[in-house]
Amino acid sequence: MMLKTIVQHGLQPRLWSRVIAFCCVLIALPVFAQGIGFPGGYGLKIYRTDYSLYPFVQVYLRTFDAQMQPLVNLNERNIGLMVKGRTYDPMKRQFGIQSIRSREEATRSVLVIDASRSMAGAPFEDALRASIRFIESKRPQDEVAVLAIRDTAQGFDLVSQFERDERALARRIADIRADGMNTRLYDSIGAAMQMCGMSAQGSIGVGGNPVVSCSVVVLSDGQDDGSSLSREELMTRISNMSIPIPIYSLAYSRISPAHFRNLEALSKNSFGVYYLIGETTSQMQRVVESIQNILQSDYVLTFRSYVPVDGNRHNLKIGVEYPSGSGKYVFDDASFEAIQPPPHPMVNEAIAKLTQRIPALDDQNPYWDQSSVPNTPGF
């Protein structure tokens, strides 16, 4: 069956009262709120810091509501920043936040397609269409790799390495056949995670379209047959990762939902999302569009650091107040190194552009001065 091919298709100040509220809430928040959301609430996860353009630091973070969908329209009015325990004053315009959707950084994704014989027929064709729709929904700089779970020595076929060309990816996906007798699901997901692991933690440099995140998208019924890697071992590997690799799983079957819980557990443990498709496989294209929206809705907070170059690591904390004006924050911690950037023309040019956006303060003090604000009850 022939499948269709791809068609190419300032910073703002915040009120003093919000600064005060931010500090109060950071002091009061319990430890279990860090990096996650309250049940029925929202949360955030910092997954990368880039300090290759020091004194500028770029912090990449993903936000989510109770349905694990991204928060929209975040800006400097509902973002709080602390460096080494001191709060940045938003009135001094030393940090800003942008959606990654409009930036040059690239994302990576690995599609893991269950090509066992039990998937054959209309459900499998819907899965292939959804995979192509996932590619259609990406940005030109984003990269996708494809693994098909098949009867091979390693349990899968590498259909495509990371690739930007939508048409090439579509042709390779169209050639996948559902003829496998066994489903080494965990081995295949583990291989996808290893491919994602090529993106190292820390600085990402400049030039081109640096890759800042990687995710795994699994289309399967969740059954595993004979993987060398157990589910428990895979879960432990996920928990120990320094940079989260979210697993977005589409659980579908025309036979039995008995193994859907395997996919659900992997997604929840990895900050991903579990989608129960069941037998209604026609909705898979809409689901993969939702996944692409999540990947492209990350935020980048850029700030100028005034910590002297010392080669050491320094802590930072980011808090999100949502909705704006609610006085309710969740937060996450990260760190950066105060290092001197290499004397490279591209680096110098990038720093010069950031300097235009965030000029240095004459007094070298970006922090909030509590003594300049009248006493506030409860603070």
Q: Are 299 and 61 in contact (CB under 8 A)?
A: yes
CATH number, domain containing residue 148: 3.40.50.410
Q: Are residues 135 and 211 in the same domain?
A: yes
Place of tokens 């990402």: 204
Altogether, the residues listed in the chain come to a count of 379
Does 113 fall in a domain? yes
In the predicted structure, residue 16 carries a pLDDT above the cut 70: no
In angstroms, rounded to a whole number, what is the distance separating the alpha carbons of residues 220 and 113?
7
Question: What are 34's two structure tokens?
Answer: 């860090």
Torsion sign over Cα 337, 209, 165, 121: positive
CA distance 336 to 311: 10
Q: What integer pLDDT is reported at residue 301 of this predicted model? A: 97
Is 286 within a domain?
yes
Name the CA dihedral angle for 42, 45, 50, 55, rounded to a multiple of 10 degrees: 50
Q: Is residue 367 situated within a structural domain?
A: no
| 48 and 153 assigned to the same domain | no
Please state, in angstroms and rounded to a whole number, the distance separating the CA atoms of residues 311 and 329: 31
Residue 11 located in a structural domain: no
Q: What is the pLDDT of residue 198?
A: 74
Q: Per residue in 85-127, pLDDT tens?
A: 999 999 999 999 999 998 999 999 999 999 988 888 888 999 9
Assigned domain for 8 exists: no
Q: How far apart are CA 242 and CA 235, in angstroms?
A: 14
CA distance 34 to 179: 45
Alpha carbon distances (Å) from 254 to 110, 281, 287: 24, 9, 18
Residues 87 and 129 in one domain: no
Tell me the pLDDT band of 247, cut-offs 50, 70 and 90.
very high
Residue at 1 is within a domain: no
Nearest to 299 by CA among 269, 322, 275: 322
Instruction: Give φ, ψ of 110 to 5 degrees.
Output: -115, 120
Is residue 39 included in any domain, yes or no? yes
Q: Is residue 368 part of a domain?
A: no
Q: How many helices (H) and strands (E) does the chain have?
A: 8, 14
CA distance 6 to 119: 24
> pLDDT of 195-235, one tens digit each?
998 754 444 666 678 899 999 999 999 999 989 999 999 99
Residue 154 to residue 184: CA distance in whole angstroms: 8
* Whether residue 346 sits in one domain with residue 226: no
The pLDDT tens digits for 353-366 are 999 999 999 999 99
Count Cβ atoms below 10 Å from residue 32 Cβ, excluding itself. 8
- Dig out the tokens for 151 from the structure: 């009867």
Q: How far is CA 237 from the centre of its chain?
A: 18
pLDDT of 32 higher than 50: no
Q: What percent of the chain has pLDDT over 90?
A: 67
- Of 373 and 284, the one with more pLDDT: 284
- Model confidence pLDDT, tens digit, residues 62-89: 998 888 889 988 888 889 999 999 999 9
> Does residue 79 sit in the same domain as residue 110?
no
Domain that holds residue 339: 16-100+300-361
Q: How far apart are CA 14 and CA 37, in angstroms?
A: 23
Is the pLDDT score of 8 beyond 60? no
**What's the total number of domains in the chain?**
2
Residues 263 and 169 occupy one common structural domain: yes
CB within 8 A of 280, min separation 6: which ones? none
**What's the pLDDT tens digit per position in 166-198?**
999 999 999 999 988 889 999 999 999 999 987
For residue range 328-359, list pLDDT tens digits in order. Answer: 788 899 999 999 999 999 999 999 999 999 99
Mark whether 218 and 272 lie in a shared domain. Answer: yes
What CATH number should be reported for the domain holding residue 53? 2.60.40
The two tokens of residue 192 are 């996808």
Write the pLDDT tens digit of every residue in 152-162.
989 999 999 99
Q: pLDDT > 70: what percent of the chain?
A: 85
Same domain assignment for residues 337 and 189? no
What is the spatial distance between Cα 176 and Cα 224, in angstroms, rounded to a whole number? 19
The reply to whether 221 and 244 lie within a common domain is yes
Average pLDDT estimate for 277-298: 93
